[in-house]
Amino acid sequence: MGAGKTTVARALSRRIGYRCVDSDHEIEARTGVSIPTIFEIEGEAGFRRREALVIAELTREHGLVVATGGGAVLLPENRERLRTGGFVVYLRVPPRVLHERTRQDRNRPLLRVADPLARLETLFAERDPLYREVADLIVDGGRGNAQSITQLLAREAAVRCKL
């Protein structure tokens, strides 16, 4: 949450001529409701089921840059689909930076807690090993801006994906 996945994915897709899809936006478009509403009605488990279906579809397509939700790596089947379905980049951002980026955002259901920083630290500890498991490339997303990260990823994609 707040790592810059959607921003970087949009910029990268423009640069390499691929279509950009944000899995959270795709879920909202298909359901007609916001992610917080899905969490409210179906809970996190319901949202993760929907997310898995979308990821299954997106990883079968070619010519896409996909920005997944931050928790997409929680399900083993998502990790496998991501690992085999494309070139996976992990924008690694420390929890304190994520907190600064998300503290005013009320559209993040998992951060609707008394101590959002502690929650981010817990999520980071849980998810970091999973991101590392599937990542073809780990980028320090806490230092560079979206433009410099996009340039790096375009170079990597050109080499690794034969663009």
Question: What is the share, in percent, of the chain residues with pLDDT greater than 90?
Answer: 68
Answer yes or no: are the C-beta atoms of 83 and 134 closer than 8 Å.
Answer: yes
Query: For 115-128, what is the mean pLDDT?
Result: 91
Q: What is the model's pLDDT at position 162?
A: 67
Query: For 128-155, what is the mean pLDDT?
Result: 90
Closest by CA position to 16, among listed 154, 131, 127, 139: 154
Question: What is the share, in percent, of the chain residues with pLDDT greater than 70?
Answer: 96
Average pLDDT for the chain: 90
pLDDT in tens, 15-66: 999 999 999 999 999 999 999 999 999 999 999 999 999 999 999 999 999 9
